[in-house]
Amino acid sequence: MDHSVKAKLISTATVLLVVVALVSCGPRTEPVTPGRLVGFQPDGYAVESAEVILAGRIDGLVAEDSVILKMVFLRGQSYVEMSVAQFDGSIDATSFWYSWTREVAGPVRSAFSAFPLIYGELSGEYGESYVKAWFQGRWLYVFRGEKIHSEDIAEQFKDYKRAVERSIEL
């Protein structure tokens, strides 16, 4: 074997070993799942219930291909229901979003509530309660109750989820 060919093979092998070493030593991130978020306890509220379910229902609609965290929070006589769903893909989340918003807010509001596969948002009085909801990628978030409490818990939850994501990255 020619000396220059040996040198190229050795340098290529060295580069590959360095790349493999760097990649294998890098931080390992485990995905955030609804089950990892079950410890959420917003300030000023009591947790009445918490459950993680596969392909459950949100407002009566089956959220197939999802894992859902459902929690209920109490403060005095007020309560907030929270449903956080992680779908298998953004297509599943978008499809559910449009079905759900059509049921909750009607077809016109539903049609203009999202950028498909990316982000959608809905808030307002629907039925007998205030709803604050959004989807982003594979995730769907629904908070239902009195406006002041739904908004408060939704903001606290955003902070909590970011903190969980950061802790997993470390």
CA distance linking residue 1 with residue 154, whole number of Å: 67
pLDDT digits (tens, 9 = 90+) for 6-52: 655 455 545 434 333 444 444 445 589 999 999 999 999 999 999 99
Q: Which residues contact 45 (CB under 8 A, 6 or more apart)?
A: 73, 74, 75, 80, 149, 153
Mean pLDDT over 108-135 rounds to: 95
Rounded mean pLDDT, 143-161: 98
Measured distance CA(139)–CA(130) in Å, rounded: 20
The pLDDT of residue 1 is above 80: no
Per-residue pLDDT at 5: 52
pTM listed for this prediction: 0.81
Question: Which residues are CB-neighbours of 59 under 8 A, at least 6 positions away?
Answer: 100, 103, 104, 142, 144
pLDDT tens by residue, 58-99: 999 999 999 999 999 999 999 999 999 999 999 999 999 999
The CATH number of domain 34-169, selected from 3.40.1000.20, 2.50.20.10, 3.40.50.11310, 3.40.50.12780: 3.40.1000.20
Give CA–CA dist 93/124, Å, rounded.
21
Task: Look at residue 4 in the predicted model and tell me its pLDDT.
Answer: 65
pLDDT at 10: 59
